Amino acid sequence: MTEQEKIDDFIDWSEKLAMNKNQEEAFKLISSKIDVCDDCYLNDHIPALNFIRCEEVLNWIERNASRVENISENWGHLAASSHFNWEKAEEWLSKGRPLSLIALDALILCTTIGERLNQSLWMRKIKPKLNDNPRPDVVAKRLQEYLVIDKVPRTRKAVEKVIANIFLVD
């Protein structure tokens, strides 16, 4: 069995587990398996936690994001699936990388109105939103402040996308 097949099986197992166990028990079982996976496969394993959809996953992200050098969009996807909020986004922006990159990716997903062309079926189904519904001007101001500190193209594009999203009208 290839490594990708093992990962696919793990994701399938996790989805079934999340449907058949209570949230806390499912989180413990899935996260315990991810905690011992090789760091080079962490980006591939974390989608298994999407099915949990609880704030404890955000705490898990904080404890584990430093295990990888290159933060994939899977991390933002996971945060957006886990009842992400503006308070957490501000906290992660203040902590810098890698959490700030995860926050920006999650913010894109939580502020997208309608469907993005490359949006996963999972995001289309759950349609994540920022739970604490911050004012658009507050978000835009804070993101512009962050952009002064981290102005690489990935950050600039993410900030531009979030600001465009928050000022769109349904």
Over the chain, what is the mean pLDDT? 94
pLDDT tens per residue, range 27-45: 999 999 999 999 999 999 9
pLDDT of 116: 64
pLDDT tens per residue, range 83-119: 999 999 999 999 999 999 999 999 999 999 876 666 7
Contact of 30 with 50, CB cutoff 8 Å: no
How many other CB atoms sit within 10 Å of the CB of residue 134? Answer: 17
Give one word for 128, left, alpha or beta, with left for phi > 0 and alpha for psi -120 to 50.
Answer: beta
pTM of the model: 0.94
pLDDT tens per residue, range 107-162: 999 999 876 666 788 888 899 999 899 999 999 999 999 999 999 999 999 999 99
Q: How many domains does the chain have?
A: 1
**Domain that includes residue 121, residue range:** 3-166
Q: Which two tokens stand for residue 135?
A: 């004012």
pLDDT of 122: 84
